[in-house]
A and B are shown apart, each in its own frame.
Chain A
Amino acid sequence: MYRGRIWLYFSNIFHQLLLVFVLLVMVAYLSSASPFFFTWNNFRNIFDHSSLYIILALGITFVIAAGGIDLSVGAVAALSGVCMAVAMHSGLSVGLSILSGICSGAFMGMAGGTVIFLFKINPFIVTLGFMSLSRGLALIVTGGIPIYGFPKSFTWWGSGHIGPFNPPMLLAAFLIVVAAVMLNFTRFGYYTLALGGNEEALRRSGVSIFLYKVLVYTLCGVTAAIGGLIVTARLNTAEPLAGWMLELDTIAAVVLGGTSMKGGRGTIVGTVIACFLLGILRNGLVILSIPSYYQQLLIGIIILAAVIFAEVRARKGLLGFNKK
């Protein structure tokens, strides 16, 4: 039975509403447990830390929505940070250096997308290869030793101030809006979702799969590179090992947010909420001084619970909001 457009809309965002609910419960609990949690300074911290995860997760949202996966983002972030550092230390201007770093990220994404398309290989394996490749390049270029010491105009991107905010937060906010508009209101977003939903159908409609697949992975490379910019600028150091395991954290956030691993369904809002959720969780664990071994355990349990819930609900129509 058809229950109307409002109902449909509600059932679509049910998962996100649930996340918001969990988030609010967490905030309420942490606020009561520690007087330091519910302060502007602490929230500024959470926003600051989450901005990196959000930016990377935005790109991954597109890739996963398109039915793919990208395991190389952490390594690509490190590589583009190294590129920026090398460019700056070789005398290039800050602007051009940043551009060169972003281009290197875009290039890695583009190359990955091309390989995935041309040889029809599972993106899991291809991006795993690109992860190793990018790390390897970053290690070769640096010789394993971090490159440090950059101009103020570069480190501003990580630790500058714009009113009460800092550049990473504003960059993240800007990119959230751009990504949401792209995914929901442009042909690129439509084709991204169609790619994940039924690639063959899209191909038969006369759309170039090659173009859009490569674009999706390139976009992910660009967001990874922007992540690299933030890490490098914030730490004033380009490390070949920066962003270690970052891909797993961000993929977890994207899936937690409600983007389907099977492709065809993607939500920027969900991704952002999930990033905040994980950010608050990490912050809360430290604020409450939970011992480190339990932290790993807790984060694991929470991610598993959320993903299992999302899957079961999607499959069985748990709570009756969705059929499939």
Chain B
Amino acid sequence: MSATEQTIQPAANIHPIDRLLRADRLPHILCAGCGIGTVIHGYANSIAASGIDENNHVCVSGIGCSGRAAGYVNVDSYHTTHGRALPFALGIAVHKPELNVTVISGDGDLTAIGGNHFIHAARRNVNLNVICINNFNYGMTGGQVGPTTPIGAKGTTAPFGAVERPFNLPYLAKATGAIFVARWTILHVREFHEALVRSMQKPGFCFIEILAPCPTSFGKSNKIGDGLHEVEIYRERCQVQNGAPHLNDFDIDLLDESKPIVVGNFVDVERDAFME
């Protein structure tokens, strides 16, 4: 038996989870080595594993490469304006509480232009699953620095390196009232999947930060050659601390090799959801 015989090209070229994706739009527009596709894939798998009627899932995105997620999933989905994924999702969650609303958007969309919506949706404990794809920059517009760019990392708007302290998103989410908080990377696909299924089953504001490579914009400015190179950084430096009580030290410094990148399911508590 030769290798080519053992590698089967499926006759219909259909992936088993294609029914939850708009497969006619694949291959998607995202760059080679971009991590966003893994998150979209994980969302589809999580819908299937959630035990919740697939017709009751809704996906809302903002603007950005991460915001393209809503255009590739085969559930009711909305591609809103920049920064407004959360208020739009809040409207759905409040008006139709039977729906399971997941927001998939970028670090810029959710925490820069949409930062105010973020803290208030968490404070109110709106029943949403929020996935922030953190690629440390504004990927779509060519690599400007944003609120999650680590100090020292370069971007088109910071050619000598970012000087502002970035958000530590799990710490922010916990402090503002999220009842489930996790941080994973696209290498931790199984953990991400479990965290997302947990979020779908839990009423209230659940937040998952997922680190994902953006080789085209962030990588290019920061000597991270391709997507695999960044995933290797995750593999070498990630430290799992599930249930860690204090999140204030968990800033990410992607460029300082001596610092661990702490990941895990950090918060899982009960609190009455908005309007309940």
Asked if A and B are interacting partners, one says no
